[in-house]
């Protein structure tokens, strides 16, 4: 008789990593129970129902890059690839007070490396100094050490301030949710090398439905079709209460430490998203605009991204929100900035929803992995130097790696 080494597996945590692990483990033939303390799956990638507009809303829009290979494969496997809208080629719309609107636009008729250099050269007020710094960054990617900050890397290659402002810091904040002053250079180098390896990898994409419908529900449905039993509102407070052959911990590192009684603190960072619904029509040149020198860093036309009718839904995102302005002050400041960007007075929004996730991401640090019994496996979000930062892609990869661990998928004869 041939049977899996671990017949019954408990997955603790119903976010992206937990769902991915449960699905892939079930594909390997394991019997899986997935436990989620919340009333809905998805973790920080789930949607919520907004009573004021009677619509499903994400905490904030999730931009992806084409280099998210594991996420794209997972979406394809569950029949949800159509729920992502991709740019044909990389175009990063930007705005600042002096230059107004401009774009980092990469042409498709050149190799990506040359196309990116040309795009940087064409940015207003950029010249050969920016191109030279980009070349130095590319040539020095593999030599980053684990302690160096992104800002120190900028200084090493002599990156001009305007290149840092217009491109590098935009990417650093957007992907790592951390200022270049403290963000890890080795991880940022990996992000750049992966994202700009091809035209397909460099382009950006966004979900064209709320995340719960576009991503979480299709993955959960496929997992349940393979026999995964999902237990909602089921909080695991003691691993001894589980009688499974193996346990997978799939949660943020701070939640894992709390469950295991570990005192070590985990570095996290906040993200604030403020949703506005307007009765008036607001024309935007692009579904998303990176705003330079403002408190709100990204302006999203959610109605355009989701194809919504009715009220115009706009969301402004503040990454690495260390200032943490009070809600009313934040809303008024963002409305003022939006009016300046759009160059038109705006009527009072019909509805506003303020969402501040205080621990939105676990930051890249040299986290110590806890020593666990051999039947407990760690798929928690705790990126270290050189790994991808805490994104949907990292969560998917974490779930896949656990399911594919050799000693989890081996078969033995009895």
> What values do phi and psi take at 358, rounded to 5?
-70, -30
Shared domain check, 330 and 283: yes
Which pair of tokens denotes residue 16? 């992206």
pLDDT at 411 (0 to 100): 53
Of 177, 199, 221, the one marking the end of a domain is 199
Which has the closest alpha carbon to 182: 150, 153, 157, 159? 150
In our burial notation (b when 16+ CB lie closer than 10 A, e otherwise), range 154-164 reads beebebbeebb
- Can you state the angle between helices 169-176 and 185-195, rounded to 10 degrees? 100
Q: Are strands 8-12 and 246-249 parallel, antiparallel or unpaired?
A: parallel
Q: Say if residue 234 is in the same domain as residue 378.
A: yes
Residue linked to tokens 């840092």: 164
Residues 106 and 177 in one domain: yes
- Give a yes or no: residue 153 inside a domain: yes
383 with 235, same domain: the answer is: yes
The β-bridge relationship of strands 411-413 and 2-4 is: antiparallel
Spatial CB neighbours of 400, under 8 Å, sequence gap ≥ 6: 20, 21, 24, 70
| Residues 95 and 194 occupy one common structural domain | yes
Whether residue 225 is found in the same domain as residue 173: no
Run of H or E residues at 95: strand 91-96
pLDDT in tens, the chain (414 residues): 455 566 899 999 999 999 999 999 999 999 999 999 999 999 989 999 999 999 999 999 999 999 999 999 999 999 999 999 999 999 999 999 999 999 999 999 999 999 999 999 999 999 899 999 999 999 999 999 999 999 999 999 999 999 999 999 999 999 999 999 999 999 999 999 999 999 999 999 999 999 999 999 999 999 999 999 999 999 999 999 999 999 999 998 999 999 999 988 899 999 999 999 999 998 898 999 999 999 999 999 999 999 988 899 999 999 999 888 999 999 999 999 999 999 989 999 999 999 999 999 999 998 777 888 888 999 998 899 999 998 999 999 999 999 887 556 655 433
Q: What is residue 197's three-state secondary structure? A: coil
Return the structure tokens found at 294: 């403002």
Per-residue model confidence (pLDDT) at position 374:
87
When computed from its CA atoms, the radius of gyration of the chain, rounded to whole angstroms, is: 22
**Same domain? 43 vs 113:** no
- 3-class DSSP state for residue 10? strand
pLDDT of 309:
86
Answer yes or no: do 277 and 344 share one domain: yes
Domain boundary among 199, 234, 257: 199
- Name the residue range of residue 357's domain: 268-362
Q: According to the model, what pLDDT value does residue 4 have?
A: 56
Q: What is the distance between the alpha carbons of residues 124 and 221, in angstroms, rounded to a whole number? A: 48
pLDDT of 412: 43
Q: Are residues 134 and 283 in the same domain?
A: no
Instruction: Give the count of alpha carbons within 13 A of 346, CB side only.
Output: 23
Same structural domain for residues 32 and 47?
yes
CATH number of the domain within which 338 lies? 3.90.660.20
348 is a domain residue: yes
Q: For residue 33, what are the β-bridge partners?
A: 10, 229
Asked if residue 85 is part of any domain, the answer here is no
In a domain, 133, yes or no: yes
Using alpha carbons, select from 10, 81, 16, 12 the residue that is nearest to residue 216: 16
User: Taking each helix axis from N to C terminus, what angle separates 217-225 and 69-77, rounded to the nearest 10 degrees?
Assistant: 60
Please provide the size of the chain in residues. 414
Same domain, 43 and 139: no
> How far apart, in whole angstroms, are the C-alpha atoms of residue 249 and residue 219?
18
Give yes or no for a contact between 174 and 271, defined as CB atoms under 8 angstroms apart: no
The number of domains in the chain is 3
Residue 352 tokens, joined: 């506003």
The domain that contains 234 carries what CATH number? 3.40.50.720
Query: Does 98 lie in the same domain as 195?
Result: yes
Alpha-carbon span 149 to 143, nearest angstrom? 13
Of 293, 286, 296, the residue nearest 97 (C-alpha): 293
Q: Which of 281, 326, 322, 335 is nearest to 304 (CA)?
A: 281
Unique residue bearing structure tokens 């009070």: 326
Dihedral Cα 62, 66, 67, 70, nearest 10 deg: 70
pLDDT of residue 1: 44
To which H or E segment does residue 299 belong? Answer: strand 298-301
């Amino acid at each position: 008789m041939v049977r899996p080494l671990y017949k019954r597996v408990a997955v603790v945590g119903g976010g992206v990593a937990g769902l991915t692990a449960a699905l892939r483990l079930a594909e390997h033939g394991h019997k899986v129970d997935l436990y989620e303390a919340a009333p809905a799956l998805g973790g920080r990638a789930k949607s919520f129902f907004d009573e004021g507009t009677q619509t499903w809303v994400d905490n904030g829009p999730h931009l992806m890059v084409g280099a998210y290979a594991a996420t794209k494969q997972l979406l394809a496997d569950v029949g949800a690839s159509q729920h992502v809208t991709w740019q044909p080629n990389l175009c990063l719309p930007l705005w600042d007070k002096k230059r107004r609107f401009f774009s980092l636009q990469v042409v498709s008729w050149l190799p990506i490396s040359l196309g990116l250099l040309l795009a940087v050269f064409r940015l207003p007020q950029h010249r050969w100094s920016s191109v030279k710094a980009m070349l130095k960054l590319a040539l020095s990617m593999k030599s980053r050490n684990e302690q160096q900050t992104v800002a120190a890397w900028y200084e090493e290659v002599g990156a001009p301030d305007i290149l840092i402002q217009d491109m590098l810091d935009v990417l650093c904040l957007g992907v790592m949710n951390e200022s270049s002053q403290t963000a890890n250079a080795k991880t940022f180098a990996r992000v750049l090398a992966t994202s700009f390896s091809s035209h397909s990898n460099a382009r950006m994409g966004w979900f064209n439905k709320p995340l719960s419908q576009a991503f979480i529900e299709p993955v959960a449905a496929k997992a349940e079709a393979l026999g995964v039993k999902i237990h909602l509102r089921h909080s695991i407070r003691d691993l001894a209460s589980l009688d499974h052959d193996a346990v997978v911990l799939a949660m943020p590192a701070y939640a894992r430490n709390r469950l295991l009684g570990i005192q070590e603190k985990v570095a996290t960072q906040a993200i604030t998203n403020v949703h506005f619904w307007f009765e008036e029509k607001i024309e935007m040149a692009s579904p998303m605009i990176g705003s330079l020198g403002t408190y709100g860093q990204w302006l999203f036309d959610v109605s355009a991204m989701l194809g919504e009718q009715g009220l115009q839904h706009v969301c402004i995102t503040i990454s690495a929100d260390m200032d943490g302005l009070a809600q009313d002050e934040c809303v008024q400041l963002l409305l003022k900035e939006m009016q300046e960007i759009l160059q038109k007075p705006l009527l009072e929004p019909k509805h506003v929803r303020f969402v501040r996730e205080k621990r939105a991401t676990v930051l890249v640090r040299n986290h110590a992995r806890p020593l666990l019994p051999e039947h407990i496996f760690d798929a928690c979000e705790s990126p270290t130097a050189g790994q991808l930062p805490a994104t949907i892609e990292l969560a998917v990869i974490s779930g896949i790696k656990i399911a594919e661990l050799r000693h989890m998928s081996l078969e033995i004869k009895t």
